[in-house]
Amino acid sequence: MRTFFALLLLLLAGSGAVGWDASRLLQAPLPLSRTESLEIAPGSSLTTALNGLQERGIVQPQRLALYLRLYARFTGVSGQIKAGEYALQPGLNPLDLLALMVEGKTRLHELRLTEGWTFAQAVKLMRAHPAIRQTRPEATSEELMAAIGRAGVHPEGRLFPDTYRFPKGTTDIDFLRRAADALDKALAQEWETREADLPYATPEEALTMASIIEKETGAAFERPQIGGVFVRRLRMGIRLQTDPTIIYGLGEGFDGNIRKADLLADNPYNSYTRDGLPPSPICLPSRAAINAALHPAPGTAIFFVSKGDGTHQFSDTLAEHEAAVRRYQLGRP
């Protein structure tokens, strides 16, 4: 098709030399030594876009812009360019450039929400991203949840940790809504395939458990084991007694150390003083952590302690657990 239109341009130009020149320039790579960005504002014309590229020395010589406008007119796409940001990569020729703008293949940026982060950490990173347009820069977490259609829902744990790709100009609300929708979808799918007789009344309780599992271990293979311990403790009426809930409850007051006073200070997130699950998740749990909460590993262990290498020693009895604490935490036999 390109050859056909190049020949048509040649005929309409009325000159074999002009037609040959147009065909050559339209298919020759643009002078790009590195990837350049092109931003087309809403309502901009092809002429406006080409003028900007001429000023930057990308569309050269000057007659190339005329050839490209004529080509666009003859093919009926001159009024079809899409607004947005485009990545112009070395090797791109003028016909490729036109196709890029007509098809709207805009440049995509990335932002990674990491499992184990809090909602506040995710929002802080999002607000610092140069490609995301901030429409609610001073909004509280509760106000942001309302803006994405989840008024009254506790924000913690409600964003799905993943790598998101999006065009420049995506709003903060659109980004958060997308991450929240992804979490809802993953949670609903995992809930549908859950094990029977789990001690959760709602998917939200399972999400809370998943967030605790996420913070308790960095070893992926241990997640179901951790889930198994916590599920058994809930069934037996034993308090969870998990440090990550203490840390979350302390908030900015946590200085890196958990003291005896912290374990005794009662608050809704103190799993040493409160029965059952805390009132909300404590972080953004991964899908693997959600799966572990809903598919806990079978077993008899009701205790575990860190070995110091990222994994844990699991124990069935308090005596075994205390021995493991002496070995791995206190360095005593």
Residues 206-220 have pLDDT tens digits of 999 999 999 999 899
- From CA 201, how far away is CA 205, in angstroms rounded? 7
Q: To 5 degrees, how large is the angle CA 117–CA 280–CA 289?
A: 55
Residues 161-189 have a mean pLDDT of 97
Question: What is the bridge-based pairing of β-strands 303-306 and 163-167?
Answer: unpaired
Six token digits for residue 241: 């007694």
- From CA 136, how far away is CA 147, in angstroms rounded? 9
Q: Which of 225-229, 269-273, 323-327 has the lowest mean pLDDT?
A: 323-327
pLDDT of residue 45 exceeding 70, the answer is yes
Q: Which amino acid is at 90?
A: P
The pLDDT assigned to 227 comes to: 97
User: Band of the pLDDT at 255, cuts 50, 70, 90?
Assistant: confident
Q: Comparing C-alpha atoms, which of 218, 2, 198 is closest to residue 94?
A: 2
Six token digits for residue 204: 């939200």
The pLDDT assigned to 206 comes to: 98
User: Band of the pLDDT at 9, cuts 50, 70, 90?
Assistant: low
User: Band of the pLDDT at 103, cuts 50, 70, 90?
Assistant: very high
The pLDDT assigned to 74 comes to: 87
- From CA 73, how far away is CA 160, in angstroms rounded? 45
Residue 235: phi and psi, rounded to 5, are: -65, -35
Three state DSSP letters for 73-97: HHHCCCCCCCCEEEEECCCCCHHHH
Three state DSSP letters for 121-151: HHHHHHHHCCCEECCCCCCCHHHHHHHCCCC
Three state DSSP letters for 290-330: HHHHHCCCCCCCCEEEECCCCCEEEECCHHHHHHHHHHHCC
Residues 256-274 have a mean pLDDT of 92
Residue 312 CB partners (closer than 8 Å, separation 6+): 217, 219, 222, 225, 226, 304, 305, 306
pLDDT over 90, % of the chain: 78
Please report, to the nearest 10 degrees, the dihedral formed by the alpha carbons of residues 159, 165, 168, 174 taken in order: -30
pLDDT of residue 16 exceeding 90, the answer is no
The pLDDT assigned to 5 comes to: 56
Six token digits for residue 272: 């040493």
Residues 147-172 have a mean pLDDT of 97
Q: Please state the separation of Cα 124 from the chain's center in Å.
A: 13
pLDDT of residue 1 exceeding 60, the answer is no
Helix axes 287-294, 203-216, angle to 10 degrees: 110
Query: Which residue is associated with the tokens 């990674």?
Result: 112
Residues 248-254 have a mean pLDDT of 89
Mean pLDDT of the chain: 92
Q: Are 26 and 71 in contact (CB under 8 A)?
A: yes
pTM of whole model > 0.75? Answer: yes
The pLDDT assigned to 12 comes to: 54
Query: Which residue is associated with the tokens 């404590």?
Result: 282
Q: Which of 2-16, 37-51, 117-131, 257-271 has the lowest mean pLDDT?
A: 2-16
pLDDT of residue 283 exceeding 90, the answer is yes
Query: Which residue is associated with the tokens 């607004």?
Result: 83
